A and B are shown apart, each in its own frame.
Chain A
């Protein structure tokens, strides 16, 4: 039974399109995160939600918009995709403010052509 799941696992799309990545956790955690692993392999936090409220918003273009319909879900919408958006996106969850105990999803590999 997967703790943190993401869909899709792979996403290939054209520049300018709008796409969404979904994330669900069944751990009962109240904090969820989105990370981007870029071409240099650094994992960088993009957003964090606690109880459906945005608590961390790093300097991410506003083409990226997270949406948390409930505590178990945190979706990532990306508008007007650009080549530089190609990366692996990881969703994670943890108990409130216990960043050291984050559980990660398998990642979504996004390729923008």
Chain B
């Protein structure tokens, strides 16, 4: 029973355009959501997070949106750059103690 799902295994976007990565969750007790970025042969690195009391958090080119009623969050990257090509993992936690990850979406930015 996967509580966090990323239904798109891959996404290809033109450089300079917007990349939108999606994530759905089932556990309404989750109160903190995160996105991690992973390059090959490296561990995931923290990218951006959002608390359940907010619906948007922005950090430079990265914005995370949270829709609690739909149990859905998304990561927007604009403008997309070649260095953004990586696997992006969505994660959620309840009480900041344990992370539950999705299966990742491979983003490819084409020049």
- A interface, CB within 8 angstroms of B: 4, 9, 35, 40-45, 48, 56, 90, 92, 97-107
Contact = CB atoms under 8 A, between A and B. Distances in A.
Given A99-B96, A99-B97, A104 B102 contact: no
Nearest to B94: A99
Contact of B45 (A41, A48, A104): A104
Contacts, number: 58
A98 B43 contact: no
Given A90-B44, A100-B32, A41 B104 contact: yes
Contacts of A102: 46, 99
B98 A104 contact: no
A48 B98 contact: yes
Contact of B43 (A56, A92, A101): A92
